[in-house]
Amino acid sequence: MVGKLKREPWSAMGKYVLITGATSGIGLAAAKELAVRGADLGIVARNQTKAKETVAQINALTGGQTKVDVFLADLTDQQSIRGVASEILTRCARIDVLINNAGAMFVKRILTRDGIEKTWAVNHLAPFLLTTLLLERIKMSGEARIITTSSHGHKMAKKGIAFDDLSAEKRYSFLQALMGGANFRYGETKLANILFTTELARLLEGTGVAANCYDPGLVVTNFNQDNGTLARMTMAVMKRFSRPVEKGAETLVWLADSNEISGESGKYYADRKEAIPTAAACSEEFARKLWEVSESQIRNSEIS
């Protein structure tokens, strides 16, 4: 793990916060709270109508005093991510906080236009690509934070990431599907979020940029609502035991706003405390291998 670095007192007030997945759920709750705390926002959204609704909600809370930029992108499409990154770099002179929050789970194996399994594309490669494209601009802030939403779901990937099956053909085979292969695939992507954070923190040592991730807990959101009747029924049952989105967003807001964690990097948090992930999530070897594999996967889309 990366140790403490000396920092000036930190708060979100006056900072520019770029967040994906901010039009609903945890992302929306966090965006509202950070706006109330004085941050300016850039929201990366897929749906323009929902983005406008989000801006309206934030303006209603802050009396229109908060700057809210909207950037549209399809996070399943690497060319779209490259395009929105270019737009962000053109419009944003600085990025103080990048929050990689968007996520999804697909119960059927679907390939993106880049030939990437969709859950992996959205949950891991999208934040990996967006972060690396914006990294030099983030470094220009001198002190900055990169926060990625992971999950206790990473524990489903007990043996680590199946690097020999990144396209998830085995996960979605008939037998694996009956055993919940989509859930294990989701777990792999959430494990990837932690490993990505570990390696990113190592690469950022000495730059002033901190990278951390967190578990929001089981939260009442619209997650997994587009995967059929069974998925919706399952989520309906789980909601009875879930926390509200505002509670799920607490740790995210804390990571973006708190001076208490200044200088901390490469860590995994839950309920505003450092937590211990699985052994696979603590493997520096896995983290470096994932980074190399991910670079290869985004490089292929760049030249295609």
In three-state secondary structure terms, 48 is: helix
Half-sphere exposure of 176 (CA within 13 A, CB side): 14
- Strand bridging mode 68-72 / 97-100: unpaired
- The answer to whether the beta carbons of residues 185 and 157 sit under 8 Å apart is no
Let me know if 214 is a catalytic residue.
no
Any residues with CB less than 8 A from the CB of 123 and at least 6 apart, and which?
A: 103, 104, 105, 186, 189, 190, 192, 193
Measured CA to CA, the distance from residue 33 to residue 23 in angstroms comes to 13
Of 16, 186, 214, 268, the active-site residue reads: 186
273: helix, coil or strand? strand
Q: Are 42 and 77 in contact (CB under 8 A)?
A: no
CA distances from 71 to 51, 68, 113 (A): 9, 10, 21
Among 180, 210, 168, 215, smallest CA distance to 194 is for: 215
Residues belonging to the active site: 186
